[in-house]
A and B are shown apart, each in its own frame.
Chain A
Amino acid sequence: MSDAVVVKERRPESKDTVTLTFDWDVHVAPGQFLMVWIPGLDEIPMSVSSVGPEKSVTVRKAGEASSALQDLQPGDRFAVRGPYGNGYNLNGLKTLVVGGGVGMAPLMPVLRTIYADLVIGARSSDEILFEEEASRYCNVIRISTDDGSQGFHGNAVQLAESLMDEGGYEQVIACGPEIMLYYLFQACERRGIPCQLSLERYMKCAVGICGSCMLGKERVCVDGPVFDSGRLRMLPEFGRSKRDPAGRLIRI
């Protein structure tokens, strides 16, 4: 059953993204996710952007539920259950972290835990997330924007490729839109660099029984959401197709 939590702080992060902090005394590993219930509206899977005793979720305005979540003010209540999923395997390898858009959210606990270089990708300069905080943890931060309004003019994968070619990275850890992750995976494969990518699918139960989030033979909610190169190679649906709430296969 979900636990009711109270919004402590509401922090705008960019023009369409807000972080909500709340006290919730449950251990969460970097890369795990929660099911967030907005009573009367919906329950949606959310990455956790802070995993200490004080937790946070970082919400981009997408649909009805995320908009309602964004509108919560300090003192308002919502509910969470979890944590669910496997999380990232954090090790001592020389790491490049790549975050696209609100995909930066689950990467912040990673950056607070291990030393890594970072690529932040966004559509435009006003959508770049967590640059200031990340600069406290990372020696190398590079920004890409689709419109060239800040940093590298292009996408995060192109920028990550140039870093990989000079940086001697032993692994890539990433989260972002699936199309970005798909091309990032191809780039890593070409260079023989292992990666860990956090994927997303339509989700209902989050406990591994309903089958809504199947990606091939894998349940994104329990067997994921983080998949390493070995498992990604076995997933022909990755980057190509997903399933709608009725279970129909749709092309990405």
Chain B
Amino acid sequence: MTDLTVRIASIEMANPSMLASGILDETGESLLRMMTAGAGAVVTKSIGLAAHDGHRNPCIVEIPTGYVNAMGLPNPGMEEFAEELSSIMPSPAPVVASIYAASAEDFALIAARMENAGAAGIELNLSCPHASGYGMEVGIDPASVSRIVSAVKDAVKVPVMAKLTPNTADIVSIGKAVQDAGGDAVVAINTLKAMVISPEFARPVLSNRYGGLSGPAIKPVGVRAVYDLYKSLDIPIVGVGGIENWRDAAEYIMAGATCFQVGSAVGRVGPEVFKDITAGLELFMDSYGYPDVESMRGVAHE
């Protein structure tokens, strides 16, 4: 019998698939739907102190191998979202709250509110490539990352993971900063900073001009990032970027991921993608002699 359960610090998951932040996760009911669809855990939209509309449309461009998006961190704000979260507690699968802020103090404040509302973990958005003053702009500086992780660790008891940007020359040094500051896990990777231009209109399509590339186009970049992080870190790695089927998931696990997140595929394939991936993964593990996810983790390094 193949064992699909995994554990990230104290977060126990029935299977290693997790809904990535930003995808159908702004309301309680949409989070519940993703759990029903088969996600072993879900991550919320990135939540800030106050309600925020995000960027004007167009916020997304579809390309053959993924999406380029600049949503601009839309969210109902900490207090209103806390109610949304409380309304689905106790939830059938763990909910990790993604949060963003402009200072370490605000990160700590929002994290505490999310823990209080029932979040089983906190994911720090240190990597959004299209919001000025937030995300990637703080996530490429190891000292800032360290300050934020320490502040949040002091504020909550639940595990704290940091989502890393690939838009840096050295993702490993950021991962080390998270680990050294007491972070429980890293999540890699967020989107790659990108742009799409309309030749007919001679301008970038996204209202924000810049966006983040997700989907199959970025999978090899994500796998490489996880592979590099695994060589240098002791804390668990959550792999994310372009996973649409069991093979993609297996690549990330073999590169060193403890579990993985699925985002764009929820749109490109559909919510049933969670069950498809875990069913395929189980069959593969069974026929290739991996009794559990642990036994498959990092095997590409051997």
| Contact in complex: B58, A247 (CB < 8 Å) | no
Question: Once bound together, how far apart are the Cα atoms of A1 and B194, in whole Å?
Answer: 14
- On B, residues with C-beta under 8 Å from A are 22-27, 29-30, 32-33, 45, 51-54, 56-63, 67, 69, 71, 74-77, 80-81, 196, 198, 200-201, 203, 205, 207, 263-264, 266-268, 270
Question: Once bound together, how far apart are the Cα atoms of A194 and B69, in whole Å?
Answer: 39
Which chain A positions have C-beta within 8 A of B27?
211, 214, 243, 247
| Contact in complex: A216, B23 (CB < 8 Å) | no
Q: Name the distance in Å between B141's Cβ and chain A's nearest Cβ.
A: 28
Assess whether A68 is interfacial by the CB under 8 Å rule: no
Partner of B25, one of A43, A211, A244: A211
Question: Once bound together, how far apart are the Cα atoms of A135 and B48, in whole Å?
Answer: 53
Known interface pairs A1-B205, A79-B201, A245-B53. Does A204 touch B60 (Cβ–Cβ under 8 Å)? Answer: yes
Q: Name the distance in Å between A32's Cβ and chain B's nearest Cβ.
A: 16
* A–B Cβ pairs within 8 angstroms, 11 of them: A37-B205, A39-B198, A79-B201, A204-B59, A207-B268, A209-B67, A209-B267, A210-B69, A211-B23, A217-B33, A247-B74
Which chain A positions have C-beta within 8 A of B69?
205, 210
Which chain B positions have C-beta within 8 A of A249?
80
Main secondary structure of the interface of A (DSSP, over half): loop
Known interface pairs A208-B267, A214-B30. Does A42 touch B201 (Cβ–Cβ under 8 Å)? Answer: no
Partner of B74, one of A44, A207, A212: A212
Residue in A closest to B83 when the chains form the complex, CB atoms:
A249
Interface centre among B56, B58, B207, B264 (most CB of A within 10 A): B58
Which chain A positions have C-beta within 8 A of B63?
1
Q: Name the distance in Å between B202's Cβ and chain A's nearest Cβ.
A: 9
Partner of B60, one of A4, A40, A205: A205
| Contact in complex: B26, A43 (CB < 8 Å) | no
Segment 18-69 of A: residues with Cβ below 8 Å from B: 35, 37, 39-40, 42-44
Q: Name the distance in Å between A68's Cβ and chain B's nearest Cβ.
A: 13
Which chain B positions have C-beta within 8 A of A210?
22-24, 26, 59-60, 69, 71, 74
| Apart from the given pairs A205-B69, A217-B30, A248-B77, 8 other A-B contacts in the complex at a CB distance below 8 Å | A40-B203, A204-B57, A204-B74, A207-B60, A207-B267, A210-B74, A211-B24, A214-B29
| Contact in complex: A77, B201 (CB < 8 Å) | yes
Which chain B positions have C-beta within 8 A of A79?
198, 200-201
| Contact in complex: A207, B32 (CB < 8 Å) | no
| Contact in complex: A246, B76 (CB < 8 Å) | yes
Interface centre among B56, B57, B76, B207 (most CB of A within 10 A): B57
Residue in A closest to B53 when the chains form the complex, CB atoms:
A245
Segment 204-252 of A: residues with Cβ below 8 Å from B: 204-212, 214, 216-217, 219, 222, 243-249
Q: Name the distance in Å between B268's Cβ and chain A's nearest Cβ.
A: 8
Residue in B closest to A203 when the chains form the complex, CB atoms:
B57
Residue in B closest to A221 when the chains form the complex, CB atoms:
B267
Q: Name the distance in Å between B246's Cβ and chain A's nearest Cβ.
A: 21
Known interface pairs A44-B57, A204-B59, A217-B33. Does A209 touch B24 (Cβ–Cβ under 8 Å)? Answer: yes
Question: Once bound together, how far apart are the Cα atoms of A77 and B51, in whole Å?
Answer: 35
Give the number of residues in A that approach B within 8 Å (Cβ atoms). 34
Which chain A positions have C-beta within 8 A of B58?
2, 35, 37, 43
Residue in B closest to A207 when the chains form the complex, CB atoms:
B267
Q: Name the distance in Å between B108's Cβ and chain A's nearest Cβ.
A: 23
Question: Once bound together, how far apart are the Cα atoms of A44 and B56, in whole Å?
Answer: 10
Assess whether A142 is interfacial by the CB under 8 Å rule: no
Which chain B positions have C-beta within 8 A of A2?
58, 61, 198, 205
Question: Once bound together, how far apart are the Cα atoms of A22 and B29, in whole Å?
Answer: 39
Which chain A positions have C-beta within 8 A of B81?
247
| Contact in complex: B201, A248 (CB < 8 Å) | no
Question: Once bound together, how far apart are the Cα atoms of A69 and B195, in whole Å?
Answer: 25
Assess whether A112 is interfacial by the CB under 8 Å rule: no
Known interface pairs A37-B205, A39-B198, A77-B201. Does A207 touch B80 (Cβ–Cβ under 8 Å)? Answer: no
Assess whether A153 is interfacial by the CB under 8 Å rule: no
Partner of A246, one of B32, B54, B62, B267: B54
| Chain A window 186-215, contacts with chain B (Cβ cutoff 8 Å), 1 for yes, 0 for no | 000000000000000000111111111010
Assess whether A10 is interfacial by the CB under 8 Å rule: no
Question: Once bound together, how far apart are the Cα atoms of A91 and B74, in whole Å?
Answer: 40
Which chain B positions have C-beta within 8 A of A222?
267
Partner of A209, one of B77, B196, B263: B263
Question: Once bound together, how far apart are the Cα atoms of A37 and B76, in whole Å?
Answer: 26
Residue in A closest to B29 when the chains form the complex, CB atoms:
A217
Assess whether A8 is interfacial by the CB under 8 Å rule: no
Question: Once bound together, how far apart are the Cα atoms of A134 and B168, in whole Å?
Answer: 59
| Contact in complex: A217, B25 (CB < 8 Å) | no
Q: Name the distance in Å between A113's Cβ and chain B's nearest Cβ.
A: 27
| Contact in complex: A209, B62 (CB < 8 Å) | no
| Contact in complex: A217, B32 (CB < 8 Å) | yes
